[in-house]
Structure 1
Amino acid sequence: MAALLLVCTANICRSPMAEAIFKARLGEVFKTITSAGVHADPRGGPVDARAAAALARHNYSVERKWRSQRVQPENLGQYHLVLVMESEHAETLRKKAAPEHHARIQLLTDFVPELAGEDVPDPYFGPVAGFDVVIGMLERAAQRLLAESREGRLKLD
């Protein structure tokens, strides 16, 4: 089975929320689902409390021992798909990744036709409601990926 990496900036809000949602909804598609940040603190840290609370409101949870981590470009080859929250994340990773891994790096919203090309907004500096908006976007992307997998249209090289 395939491996999936979800990437945001610091790996404390969007990507850990995506990890929790995708683990709950896409376990039949991906054997490994993990998250990391392009600029995550190398010492690691917990998920943002507001992100954890939003996940709980939507009946998801982050694993108790979860810690943030930084993307290691040299390890991108171990993932069949790398979904980023912002186009800037894709550009950063493609600059550091081996050329044969560039196609694996995709914007998460490109899997949701009505959101294609949009960045997943960073709720960190906004109101708490922003976390719920992001969860809705992540759920739609997870639903779409599951549908594409079941229809045989999800290509995981």
Structure 2
Amino acid sequence: MASLLLVCTANICRSPMAEAIFKAKLGDVFKTITSAGVHADPRGGPVDARAASALARHNYSLERKWRSRRVQPESLGEYDMVLVMEAEHVDALRTKAAAEHHARILLLTDFVPELAGQDIPDPYFGPVAGFDVVIGMIERAAQRLLTESREGRLRLS
């Protein structure tokens, strides 16, 4: 089974929400599902309270001891797929990753044709409703990946 890394900026909103959703929906597809942030605080911290509340409203949860963490470029080769929230994250990781790992670093929305190329918006500085919008976008991508996996079309490096 494959391993998946989900990446956002600080690993306190979008990528932890994606981690919870992907574990719930794709736990049978990926052996390992985890998240990290391009610029996460190296000391680690809890998930944003608004993100945790949004997850609870949608019947998802993170492990009780969950802590944010920073992406370690040297570990990118350990994952079969690295899905990121923004095009800027793709660029940042590909700059740091070994060339042979570039193809596995993808924008999450590229799996949803009507969202392809779009960033998952960062809800941190916006209204609480933004967290629900982000969950909806992540759920669409997770469902699409699940469908592709079931149909044998999911390509993992």
TM-score range, shorter chain: over 0.9
Offset at residue 76 of structure 1 (A): 0.3
Q: Which amino acid aligns with 1:13?
A: C
Structure 1 residues 55-98: Cα deviation after superposition (integer angstroms, max 9, x where no partner): 00000011100000000000000000000000000000000000
In the TM superposition, what are the counterparts of 1:94-109 in structure 2 within 5 Å? 94-109=94-109
Displacement, 1:7? 0.1
- Runs in 1 of length 4+ with deviation above 3 angstroms? none
Q: Secondary structure at the match of 1:122?
A: coil
- SS of structure 1 residue aligned to 2:6: strand
Partner of 2:155: 155
Give how far 1:138 is off: 0.4
Deviation at 1:120, TM superposition (A): 0.1
**Stretches of structure 1 lacking an aligned partner (at least 5 in a row):** none
Structure 2: runs of 5 or more not aligned:
none
Amino acid at match of 2:47: V
TM-score scaled by length of structure 1: 1.00
1:154, distance to aligned residue in structure 2 (A): 0.5
CA distance in 1, matches of 2:65, 2:143: 26
SS at match of 2:7: strand
Report the identity percentage.
85
Query: How much has 1:129 moved relative to structure 2?
Result: 0.0
1:60 aligned onto 2:60: yes
Classify the secondary structure of the residue corresponding to 1:119: coil
Corresponding position of 2:34: 34
Instruction: Kindly state the Cα deviation for residue 42 of structure 1 after the two structures are TM-superposed.
Output: 0.1
Structure 1 equivalent of residue 144 of structure 2? 144
The two structures, once aligned, show a CA RMSD in angstroms of 0.3
Counterparts of 2:59 and 2:41, CA distance in 1: 27
